[in-house]
Amino acid sequence: MTKRLKLGMVGGGQGAFIGAVHRLCARMDDKYEFVAGCLSSTPEKAAASAEEIGLDPLRSYPDFKTMADKESKRDDGIDVVSIVTPNHMHAEPVIEFLNRDIHVICDKPMTSTLEDAYRIVESASKSKAHFFLTHNYSGYPVVREMRSLIKNGELGALRIVKGSYLQGWLGSKEEDTGLNKQAEWRTDPKRSGVAGAVGDIGSHTMHLIEFITGEKLLSVAADLTTFVDGRKLEDDASVLLRMTNNIKGNLSISQIATCEENNFKISIYGDKGALHWSQENPNYAMFNKLGQANQIVSRGGFILYDGSLSSTRVPPGHPEGYLEAFAQIYSDAADVIMNKPNKLELLDILPNVKDGLHIMKFINACVDSSNSNSNWTNLSTE
Amino acid sequence: MTKRLKLGMVGGGQGAFIGAVHRLCARMDDKYEFVAGCLSSTPEKAAASAEEIGLDPLRSYPDFKTMADKESKRDDGIDVVSIVTPNHMHAEPVIEFLNRDIHVICDKPMTSTLEDAYRIVESASKSKAHFFLTHNYSGYPVVREMRSLIKNGELGALRIVKGSYLQGWLGSKEEDTGLNKQAEWRTDPKRSGVAGAVGDIGSHTMHLIEFITGEKLLSVAADLTTFVDGRKLEDDASVLLRMTNNIKGNLSISQIATCEENNFKISIYGDKGALHWSQENPNYAMFNKLGQANQIVSRGGFILYDGSLSSTRVPPGHPEGYLEAFAQIYSDAADVIMNKPNKLELLDILPNVKDGLHIMKFINACVDSSNSNSNWTNLSTE
Amino acid sequence: MTKRLKLGMVGGGQGAFIGAVHRLCARMDDKYEFVAGCLSSTPEKAAASAEEIGLDPLRSYPDFKTMADKESKRDDGIDVVSIVTPNHMHAEPVIEFLNRDIHVICDKPMTSTLEDAYRIVESASKSKAHFFLTHNYSGYPVVREMRSLIKNGELGALRIVKGSYLQGWLGSKEEDTGLNKQAEWRTDPKRSGVAGAVGDIGSHTMHLIEFITGEKLLSVAADLTTFVDGRKLEDDASVLLRMTNNIKGNLSISQIATCEENNFKISIYGDKGALHWSQENPNYAMFNKLGQANQIVSRGGFILYDGSLSSTRVPPGHPEGYLEAFAQIYSDAADVIMNKPNKLELLDILPNVKDGLHIMKFINACVDSSNSNSNWTNLSTE
Amino acid sequence: MTKRLKLGMVGGGQGAFIGAVHRLCARMDDKYEFVAGCLSSTPEKAAASAEEIGLDPLRSYPDFKTMADKESKRDDGIDVVSIVTPNHMHAEPVIEFLNRDIHVICDKPMTSTLEDAYRIVESASKSKAHFFLTHNYSGYPVVREMRSLIKNGELGALRIVKGSYLQGWLGSKEEDTGLNKQAEWRTDPKRSGVAGAVGDIGSHTMHLIEFITGEKLLSVAADLTTFVDGRKLEDDASVLLRMTNNIKGNLSISQIATCEENNFKISIYGDKGALHWSQENPNYAMFNKLGQANQIVSRGGFILYDGSLSSTRVPPGHPEGYLEAFAQIYSDAADVIMNKPNKLELLDILPNVKDGLHIMKFINACVDSSNSNSNWTNLSTE
């Protein structure tokens, strides 16, 4: 019989968005059983949230320390915990659970400060537990196929990368309406960290470019702008990139790109071919080879290299979406924890603590560059 | 605390496709708990399948009669059963469970014969339980928005409907490979019924046109063709339509349309506007109004009329897909069974026993027309 | 030095649409010099039209007989004449010029009656001059590439063809507004012939399917409808097709498809591949091969088989359109007339008198079938 | 009777690309008669080229000075001259003809050096003749509609602009093959000027952004790269932009973007809406208004503000392309020269000598910025 991993959650109470997504995605492939939580930093709200989703009240905790303590002592205590609080409240619970060797699945970006990021790195190095970061876009099967194509040399030597992640939801001062908790904490430097759009969606963009290409960012020249009057963090950024192996490129990141929904696109050019992917129709990628007709990669369709890296829940033509890609991270994390045969292969692609630190350096370099008149700024090599 | 409905399943064992989809979709919105099953008509296979997916062996039954009997006697017996067997094995279990007032969610088409369809209609009329049919494409939020737009008169008087559902997976004799159970039973008149492609995907197409327009099919002139030598049922059909209110149209149905994946498209034209939808990128529809620029309807985006008919799990731009639409049927059925406030509204749109019978008449009329040189053939009004 | 052919025109005066298109297209590749015309059946309007476009008044004629007579006697008389009158006024001038061995480029459909079509066939058989029909969509380079791909066996044995040509411009009674000459004659059986939409755009659709596939239509089952009250000819048609080599298919033809502009699409399926083309973005086709990733054919880009059959005026990515495709017919006709090396190859693809007659039979068969309750109706083999 | 303008040409002989495009576009709307030329800097080649295209040998000149002299003395001398030589040979003939008050239509960019640009500005200021620059993409009807929409405030206050112009044709060392004259002079600083890709296609991109928005570029931070070994000019550039009214943005310019054909895209975001256009399917634009469903602008279709600024040669759905847009510049220039009623309106939008100088400053600023470690560099205000 299939064993389901016992899952807990910190954050994700009433009014939150991403917590419910994490729970749905954990359910999707039936590898987790959700059994414990500290769903809010306010104990009453934590209890109400727990009741609403049918959590056993005995395993709804008023704070994450109590939860870590009690769960680690139960025979049937949680195997894994999801951390879905705002950025500034990632590090403490992450470290608390890692110290007890409970596996952690943490929302991105890893922390609100570089200091916290280093603390998690250190804690993870001492823990027997795994740490996974939900850079969920790397769970899309077609994105993984793009990574395989490049790894197998289909594009030749890479030359240019382009990423754009454009949203419009912060086009006016949403954070002052009193109706949008997301907008409030994401535009608040105390909770988000030094960056706004760059931290929230720029982090996904840069991670995905590195995930697909296998190359690393070295230096940025960034122009961050706050278009909405009185906002405390930038809501738009243009960034020039220099990467390993002389790859160049640029990023367009915005949360004030009027009428954009979640327009996240990646293009990679090598001297022998190119790949293009758009998140809003994610079941396809364009695969262009020099001297051939352009080709369409279809999820689950004709595929050149994909190994055991992506589940196909439904056949091609039956579109999968955002939730399936997000669930893939949960599914893969479960396979790693349960020592499935493709564990090593999965560990190679699942976003981990090093990715988390690296992306924190990217965020900080963007802010530093923009603060120094867009000077080229190297990522910290500390 | 949220109560979860107790769910059983008949069919869906090892090697089946749609059973796993039903289970995943039942899990997605956390309104069901899967507790019992008769997963195969072969007792050993039923037991093995049950173990594989972690079902309590005491509630894995060797046959559906035993299951219906035992479960109906338990205090914690199933509230709902999913019937996911091949078409010819729908009627018996459906009637068995309806007779015990256990709600039924049945895969489509409703049966393999018109006679069986009438038997289910009669049984349902006497049962206190609900009967739902998984015409899952009616669960797409944008499809429901199209229905609302038409109901609110945005297209004026309807004139033309066009449906095409094109697949390529039966382009050669898959049913002889010994590797494709789907192909075997779907091309076998004993298990599928009188029609092949028309029964399998034509049924979805006709249902969705009627769902969106609120109009009913009256008569067909059909040309059914078996392109693959030796196949026992048609694998392609072109059908002319005449509907209520002088609407005309046509269908293109094929399972030998080479390289098509699941290319299902609907277009509706009225004298004041038109709507277009394509299943392979299902988060959008084209909404064209006379004298205005053409508009794009986006799931979860700007919407004119949608009421409480569709859950938006994630914001626009975060694509949902086939599984979310399918899960919507499960979610809505649960809300009906649990007497949620929008129960009547949901009953109005969920595919039911009348739809099931009507689509069986459509399938039969297509076959009859094609057998009589494509003569116009009215749907049975019995 | 390049010799330019001397070109005359019958029809195409003030208020006409297609005459100006013919003249522009004749100019495009600089192979014609426009020198004479009888631009209207009303002499005063003919003269005024001639002045407006700068035609020598001495070569602006009050009627086509005078024009044919005078021009055939001049040393510098016209080599070619374009016939761009309404359908019922094609046959007389065509025959008049063919009898004088002046080449004819005639707008489609060839005539308004089958009788006239036979008269042109006979006249052409006796003339030394060429007769070309402007089925202009066959001038698109990508369409010609599709023909080459099929001719070279890339799709295997053909199975299904689908054509749809959808416009919305006749959605209300345009012909009664007094502002739309096009609508007036196209809905008038005396000028258009027995069919409306089928004659105007169905003719293009059927021609293009045969052009691309190299196969011939044998029989139709058609449902023609007049949706706009009081209109004299059908404005919508759905047609089932049976072709040579057991190919089947269907057509959707409409001029009341609300908000459609000129939505003309062709799909061809064989047992080894498929091709798809859409006129509104005509520089590309989808080329899908069994067992391979789907490919995009791009005008002027990577191409497998195209020979000397299409001019590339500008490189790929610089879109060509309707006028360039139309001009291709003029350019090719000039090359034939001037005995260029690829004359035979061009004669093989340029729409000719046989195509004109065949399409007239198609139009008549559609009307006959629809009048007999959509019975299967063979094309006349007379 | 319509008078046609007499047109001459400098450059555009055998082996050239853009000369033939200019001639075709001049013919398209029948407002020009091509009568004289100096088609090559080599007299023999000039004569051979003239013969090939049927030019009167008496008006085929061995050098542009002779041509200017002789034509200015003829009663039927040219009204207008097209200058289609490589960049470094624009200034001399332009000044020669302007000095004789012969109108000039000059290919872009205006010159190879800023000095030459100032010389043309001065010469134009003294001439009675008009000077037009073929920034042909501003001739697309949908692009002009975008300009009207913004001018009429539909986007509110502008915030972000994004332009990308991506080609792949210089992905390897084409200039060394001996087969590609285009590649040779465009990568040669003596003929092209200080920039490669930025001068050739970056110039179009920046012009079009300014044309559509009515705003001006102030400062750039650019990273220019030469990816192909041994090439003398950059073949790729990423540029950050700062414009009037606090608008920001970025450009992606490349001629080594593998498999790209002529992928030129513009996006403009204001606080009330956004516009998006892609040159490879140029008959449409996306027009997104806050709080409304996204809309599609279609050439010749439903339009809000367009005045007399674009000819519609064929109805919507009949795609126009690159040549029609290019011909629009010629058509409009003719209307200005012939004092048509909309002359002032056309002068306001036709690319002129000031645009030419401004774009030369943009090119130089990009090079200067890139040479100083991507520092923000203001455009010369001299």
The residues, any chain, with a CB within 8 Å of residue B285's CB and separated by 6 or more, are B142, B143, B145, B146, B275, B276, B277, B296, B297
Of B133, B152, B178, which residue is a domain's last?
B133
- D65-76 mean pLDDT: 97
Q: Considering only CB atoms, which chain B residues are within 8 Å of C272?
A: 258
Report how far Cα A351 is from the mean position of its chain's Cα atoms: 8
Q: How many CB atoms lie within 10 A of CB A304?
A: 13
Q: Does the beta carbon of C360 lie under 8 angstroms from any beta carbon of chain A?
A: no
Backbone Cα Rg of chain D: 20
Report how far Cα D299 is from the mean position of its chain's Cα atoms: 21
Nearest CB among D172, D225, D260 relative to A248 is that of: D225
Q: Is residue B363 within 8 Å of B371, Cβ to Cβ?
A: no
Residue A291 within a domain = no
Task: Indicate if C186 and C128 belong to the same structural domain.
Answer: no
- The confidence band for D308, taking pLDDT boundaries of 50, 70 and 90, is low
Give the model's pLDDT for residue C1: 43
The 8-class DSSP code of residue A197 comes to H
Of A79, A101, A133, which residue is a domain's last?
A133
Is the model's pLDDT at A378 over the cut of 50?
A: yes
DSSP D133-159: E--GGGG-HHHHHHHHHHHTTTT-SEE
Residue B378 within a domain = no
- B228-246 mean pLDDT: 98
Compute the mean pLDDT over every residue in chain A, rounded to the nearest whole number: 95
d(CA B362, CA B379): 6
In DSSP terms, which residues pair with A268 in a beta bridge? Answer: A161, A275
User: C155: distance to nearest CA of chain A, Å?
Assistant: 16
Backbone Cα Rg of chain A: 20
Mutate to test the interface with D, among B296, B297, B299, B305 (most CBs of D within 10 A): B296
Which carries the bigger pLDDT value, residue D346 or residue A310? D346
- The confidence band for C306, taking pLDDT boundaries of 50, 70 and 90, is low
Q: Considering only CB atoms, which chain B residues are within 8 Å of D294?
A: 295-296, 298, 302
- The confidence band for A2, taking pLDDT boundaries of 50, 70 and 90, is low
What are the start-end ranges of the E strands in chain B?
Answer: 5-10, 32-38, 80-83, 103-106, 131-133, 158-166, 217-225, 236-243, 248-254, 263-270, 273-278, 284-289, 294-298, 377-378
Nearest CB among D295, D298, D301 relative to B295 is that of: D295
Residue C282 within a domain = no
Is the model's pLDDT at D339 over the cut of 70?
A: yes
What are the start-end ranges of the E strands in chain A?
Answer: 5-10, 32-38, 80-83, 103-106, 131-133, 158-166, 217-225, 236-243, 248-254, 263-270, 273-278, 284-289, 294-298, 377-378
Q: Is residue B150 within 8 Å of B288, Cβ to Cβ?
A: no
- The confidence band for C116, taking pLDDT boundaries of 50, 70 and 90, is very high
Number of separate domains in chain B: 2
| pLDDT per residue as tens digits for the range D253-300 | 999 999 999 999 999 999 999 999 999 999 999 999 999 999 999 998
Is the model's pLDDT at A1 over the cut of 70?
A: no
Domain hosting residue C244, numbered range = 157-271+352-371
d(CA B47, CA B105): 22
Compute the mean pLDDT over every residue in chain C, rounded to the nearest whole number: 95
Is the model's pLDDT at B269 over the cut of 90?
A: yes
Is the model's pLDDT at D1 over the cut of 50?
A: no
Query: What is the phi/psi pair of residue A354, to 5°?
Result: -70, -40
Q: Does the beta carbon of A291 lie under 8 angstroms from any beta carbon of chain C?
A: yes
Which of D139, D83, D126 minimizes the C-alpha distance to D108? D83
Mutate to test the interface with A, among C142, C275, C284, C294 (most CBs of A within 10 A): C294
Nearest CB among B293, B298, B302 relative to D296 is that of: B293
Task: Indicate if B273 and B178 belong to the same structural domain.
Answer: yes
Measured CA to CA in angstroms, residue D158 lies from A263, A376, D98, D273, D297 at distances of: 19, 28, 38, 9, 19
CATH code at A248?
A: 3.30.360.10
Residue A347 within a domain = no
Give the model's pLDDT for residue A72: 97
Q: How many CB atoms lie within 10 A of CB D232?
A: 12
The sign of the dihedral angle between the CA atoms of B181, B182, B188, B193 is positive
Give the model's pLDDT for residue D14: 86
The angle subtended at Cα D102 by Cα D99 and Cα D106, nearest 5°, is 95
Task: Indicate if A121 and A238 belong to the same structural domain.
Answer: no
Element (H, E) at B183: helix B181-186
Task: Indicate if C118 and C235 belong to the same structural domain.
Answer: no
- The confidence band for A3, taking pLDDT boundaries of 50, 70 and 90, is confident
Task: Indicate if B95 and B170 belong to the same structural domain.
Answer: no
- B273-281 mean pLDDT: 98
Give the model's pLDDT for residue C320: 96
Range list of H helices, D249-342:
322-337
Give the model's pLDDT for residue A167: 98
Q: Does the beta carbon of B316 lie under 8 angstroms from any beta carbon of chain A?
A: yes
d(CA A177, CA D359): 44
Instruction: Look at the pTM and tell me if it is higher than 0.95.
Output: yes
Is the model's pLDDT at C312 over the cut of 80?
A: no
| pLDDT per residue as tens digits for the range B131-174 | 999 999 999 999 999 999 999 999 999 999 999 999 999 999 99
Q: Does the beta carbon of A288 lie under 8 angstroms from any beta carbon of chain C?
A: no
Is the model's pLDDT at B210 over the cut of 80?
A: yes
Task: Indicate if D360 and D230 belong to the same structural domain.
Answer: yes
Chain-chain contact of D294 with B296 (C-beta, under 8 angstroms): yes
Give the three-state DSSP class for C80. strand
d(CA C331, CA C320): 15
| pLDDT per residue as tens digits for the range B10-35 | 999 987 889 999 999 999 999 999 99
Residue A276 within a domain = no
- The confidence band for C311, taking pLDDT boundaries of 50, 70 and 90, is low
Q: Is residue C222 within 8 Å of C355, Cβ to Cβ?
A: no
Task: Indicate if B210 and B102 belong to the same structural domain.
Answer: no
The sign of the dihedral angle between the CA atoms of B298, B302, B304, B305 is positive
The 8-class DSSP code of residue D374 comes to T
D277 token code pair: 């256009």
d(CA D42, CA C160): 57
Burial letters for D207-220: b for 16+ Cβ neighbours within 10 Å, e otherwise?
Answer: bbbbbbbebebbeb
Q: Which residue of C has its CA nearest to B291?
A: C259
d(CA C160, CA B253): 11
CATH code at A119?
A: 3.40.50.720
Give the three-state DSSP class for D290. coil
d(CA B248, CA B251): 11
Is the model's pLDDT at C303 over the cut of 90?
A: no
Is the model's pLDDT at A331 over the cut of 50?
A: yes
d(CA A35, CA A26): 12
Residue D79 within a domain = yes
| pLDDT per residue as tens digits for the range D209-264 | 999 999 999 999 999 999 999 999 999 999 999 999 999 999 999 999 999 999 99
Residue A344 within a domain = no
Q: Considering only CB atoms, which chain B residues are within 8 Å of C227?
A: 159-160, 271
Chain-chain contact of D323 with C320 (C-beta, under 8 angstroms): yes
Give the model's pLDDT for residue B306: 61
| pLDDT per residue as tens digits for the range D11-45 | 999 878 899 999 999 999 999 999 999 999 898 99
Measured CA to CA in angstroms, residue B77 lies from B41, B332, C222 at distances of: 21, 21, 56
Is the model's pLDDT at D366 over the cut of 70?
A: yes
- The confidence band for B349, taking pLDDT boundaries of 50, 70 and 90, is very high
Q: Is residue B273 within 8 Å of C259, Cβ to Cβ?
A: yes
Is the model's pLDDT at D306 over the cut of 70?
A: no
Task: Indicate if D93 and D170 belong to the same structural domain.
Answer: no
A36 token code pair: 């414990």
- A181-195 mean pLDDT: 96
Give the model's pLDDT for residue C318: 96
Chain-chain contact of C296 with A291 (C-beta, under 8 angstroms): no
- The confidence band for D303, taking pLDDT boundaries of 50, 70 and 90, is confident
pLDDT more than 90, % of chain A: 93
Chains that touch D (3 or more CB pairs under 8 A): A, B, C
- The confidence band for D73, taking pLDDT boundaries of 50, 70 and 90, is very high
Give the model's pLDDT for residue B297: 94
Is the model's pLDDT at D50 over the cut of 50?
A: yes
Query: What is the phi/psi pair of residue C94, to 5°?
Result: -55, -50
Residue C358 within a domain = yes
Among the residue ranges C11-15, D63-67, D156-160, the one predicted with the least confidence is: C11-15
| pLDDT per residue as tens digits for the range B173-199 | 999 999 999 999 999 999 999 999 999
Give the model's pLDDT for residue A127: 98
State the ipTM, two decimals: 0.96
Cis peptide before B109 (omega within 30 of 0): yes
Burial of C75 (0-12, 13-18, 19+ CB in 10 A): exposed
Measured CA to CA in angstroms, residue D293 lies from A6, B153, D198, D284 at distances of: 43, 18, 36, 16
Chains that touch C (3 or more CB pairs under 8 A): A, B, D
Task: Indicate if D185 and D92 belong to the same structural domain.
Answer: no
Residue reference for tokens 């606090």: D246
Which of A332, A337, A353, A335 minimizes the C-alpha distance to A139? A332
Burial letters for B210-242: b for 16+ Cβ neighbours within 10 Å, e otherwise?
Answer: bbbbebebbebbbbbbbbbeebebbbbbbbbbb
Among the residue ranges A39-53, C300-314, D169-183, the one predicted with the least confidence is: C300-314
| pLDDT per residue as tens digits for the range C59-92 | 999 999 999 999 999 999 999 999 999 999 999 9
In single-letter form, the type of residue at position B148 comes to S
- The confidence band for C300, taking pLDDT boundaries of 50, 70 and 90, is confident
Give the model's pLDDT for residue B1: 43
In DSSP terms, which residues pair with A273 in a beta bridge? Answer: A289
Give the model's pLDDT for residue C268: 98
Chain-chain contact of B1 with A54 (C-beta, under 8 angstroms): yes
d(CA D144, CA A84): 48
d(CA B161, CA C236): 12
Q: Does the beta carbon of D288 lie under 8 angstroms from any beta carbon of chain B?
A: no
Of D133, D148, D166, which residue is a domain's last?
D133
Give the model's pLDDT for residue C304: 75
Q: Is residue A307 within 8 Å of A287, Cβ to Cβ?
A: no
Give the model's pLDDT for residue C255: 98
d(CA A258, CA C118): 61
| pLDDT per residue as tens digits for the range B302-333 | 777 765 566 679 999 999 999 999 999 999 99
Task: Indicate if B21 and B166 belong to the same structural domain.
Answer: no
d(CA A80, CA A101): 9
Task: Indicate if B353 and B288 belong to the same structural domain.
Answer: yes
- C340-350 mean pLDDT: 95
Task: Indicate if B106 and B170 belong to the same structural domain.
Answer: no
